[in-house]
């Protein structure tokens, strides 16, 4: 009986793993991405609540803007060129960086650009 139960659980886990590996990727929402940034900024810089709220707002605006650009470019039905997407999203990046520099200060902003920003970039599947 125990062997059958163990075998059933192992089979279910294996099946779930295979199904997930077949393309179970779904883009995270703006709120999920902001929550990730919030956690990383808080743990790295130990910001007070007011500044964390400002950072959350800046990143929410940034993510909504870049999502809008992505949707516009993908509405053509084919995958857009990454260079074009990057160029169209550049104003949102510039606005985000300008506001973060004011909120964080020069030293923390430099640390953000060098250490934290690369960690926030989405990982591409091979």
Query: In total, how many domains does the chain have?
Result: 1
pTM for this prediction? 0.71
Tell me which of 120 and 105 has the higher pLDDT. Answer: 105
In-domain check, residue 59 = yes
In a 13 Å sphere around the CA of 74, the CA atoms on its Cβ side amount to 8
In-domain check, residue 58 = yes
pLDDT at 126: 45
Please tell me the distance from the alpha carbon of residue 126 to that of residue 119, in angstroms, as a whole number.
18
Comparing CA positions, the residue from 113, 95, 115, 109 lying closest to residue 51 is 109
**Which residue range is the domain that position 112 belongs to?**
47-120
In-domain check, residue 5 = no
Pick left, alpha or beta for residue 23 (phi over 0 → left; psi -120 to 50 → alpha; otherwise beta).
left
In-domain check, residue 39 = no
pLDDT digit string, tens, across residues 63-94: 999 989 888 888 877 677 788 888 888 999 99
pLDDT digit string, tens, across residues 21-40: 555 557 788 888 889 888 88
| Three-class secondary structure of residue 125 per DSSP | coil
């Amino acid at each position: 009986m125990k062997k059958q139960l163990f075998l059933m659980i192992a089979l279910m886990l294996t099946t779930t793993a295979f199904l997930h590996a077949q393309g179970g990727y779904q883009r995270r929402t703006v709120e999920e991405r902001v929550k990730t940034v919030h956690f990383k900024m808080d743990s790295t810089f130990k910001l007070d609540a007011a500044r964390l709220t400002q950072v959350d707002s800046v990143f929410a605006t940034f993510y909504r803007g870049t999502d809008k650009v992505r949707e516009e470019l993908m509405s053509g039905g084919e995958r857009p060129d990454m260079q074009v997407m990057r160029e169209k999203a550049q104003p949102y990046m510039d606005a985000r960086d300008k506001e973060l520099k004011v909120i964080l200060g020069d030293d923390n902003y430099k640390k953000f650009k060098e250490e934290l920003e690369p960690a926030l970039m989405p990982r591409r599947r091979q």
